[in-house]
Structure 1
Amino acid sequence: MKVKRSKQHTSARIRLAETDIAITQHRLQTDWFAGVTDEVAQIGGADAVAEREGRVDLTSLPMVTIDGADAKDFDDAVFAEANSDGWTLWVGSQSQSLCARRVIV
Structure 2
Amino acid sequence: MKHVKNFENKKVLVLGLARSGEAAARLLTKLGAIVTVNDGKPFDENPSAQALLEEGIKVICGSHPLELLDEAFAYMVKNPGIPYTNPMVVRALEKISQL
TM-score by length of 2: 0.23
Q: Which has the higher contact order (CA 8 A, sep 6+)?
A: 2
Query: Larger radius of gyration, structure 1 or 2?
Result: 1
TM-score by length of 1: 0.22
